[in-house]
Chains A and B, each alone.
Chain A
Amino acid sequence: MHRIRLSGYLFILPALLIFLVFLIYPLIHTIYLSLTQWAGFDLSKITFVGFSNFKLLLPDWIFWKALRNTMIFVFGTTFFLNIFGLALALFLNNELRITRLVRTLIFIPVLLSPVIVGVMWSRIFDPFGALNQILDKMGIISTPVFWLGDKRIALWSIVGATVWQWVGYDMILYLTGLQQIPEELYEAAKIDGANNWHLFRFITLPLLRGIATMVILLNLIGGVRIFDVVFVMTRGGPNHNTEVLATHLYEVAFWFNKMGYASVIAVIILVISLLFAYFRNRLMRERS
Chain B
Amino acid sequence: MRKESIARGVVWIFIGIGLFITLFPFAWVVSLSIRTEKEVFTAILFPETARLRNYIDAWSKFGFTVLFKNSIIITFTSVLVTVFISALAGYGFAKFRLRASNFLFHLILSGIMIPPIAIVIPLFVFMRRLGLFNSYPSIIFPYIVFGLPIATLIFKTYIQNLDNDILDAARIDGCGEFRIFLRILLPIIKPAIATVTIFTFMANWNEFLLAIIFLQDKSLYTLPLGMSVFVGQYSAPWQLIGAGVVISILPVLGLFFVLQNQFIRGLIEMTFNG
Q: Please report A residues at the B interface, Cβ cutoff 8 Å.
A: 4-5, 7-12, 14-16, 18-19, 22-27, 29-30, 33, 43, 84, 87-88, 91-92, 102, 104-116, 118-124, 128, 130, 133-134, 137, 164, 167-169, 172-173, 176, 196, 214, 218, 224-225, 227-228, 231-232, 245-246, 249-250, 253-254, 259, 262-263, 266-267, 269-270, 273-274, 277
Contact = CB atoms under 8 A, between A and B. Distances in A.
Contacts, number: 239
A255 to B, nearest CB: 12
B68 interface: no
Contacts of B148: 15, 18-19
Contacts of B225: 115
Given A113-B206, A116-B248, A107 B213 contact: no
Contact of A269 (B86, B117, B267): B117
A286 B260 CA distance: 33
Contacts of A22: 123, 126, 141-142, 144-145
Nearest to A229: B208
A91 B14 contact: yes
A273 B115 CA distance: 7
Contacts of A111: 202, 252-253, 256, 263
Contact of A124 (B22, B28, B111, B146): B28
B184 to A, nearest CB: 14
Contacts of A249: 117, 120
Interface in B218-265: 223-225, 227-228, 231-232, 238, 241-242, 244-245, 248-249, 252-253, 256, 260, 263-264
B121 A262 contact: yes
A226 B211 CA distance: 15
Interface residues of B, number: 93
B121 A8 contact: no
A11 B129 CA distance: 29
A224 B206 contact: no
Given A112-B252, A114-B208, A120-B25, 5 more contacts: A9-B96, A23-B111, A266-B118, A267-B118, A273-B118
Contacts of B146: 23
27 contacts: A8-B97, A11-B92, A14-B89, A15-B152, A18-B144, A25-B122, A25-B126, A26-B126, A33-B121, A43-B129, A106-B19, A112-B252, A113-B205, A113-B208, A119-B227, A119-B245, A120-B29, A128-B41, A130-B25, A164-B22, A196-B7, A228-B224, A231-B212, A232-B228, A246-B117, A253-B120, A253-B124
Contacts of A120: 25, 29, 245
Interface in B181-235: 181, 202, 205-209, 212-213, 223-225, 227-228, 231-232
Contacts of A224: 115
Q: At the interface, is chain A mostly helix, strand, loop or mixed?
A: helix
A134 B112 CA distance: 42
Contacts of B18: 84, 88, 106, 167
A102 B15 contact: yes
Interface in B79-132: 85-86, 88-89, 91-93, 95-98, 101, 104, 107-108, 111-126, 128-129
Contacts of A128: 41
Contact of A26 (B7, B119, B152, B205): B119
Top 8 closest A-B pairs, CB basis? A8-B96, A11-B92, A113-B206, A29-B122, A15-B89, A115-B224, A26-B122, A277-B113
Contacts of B123: 22, 26
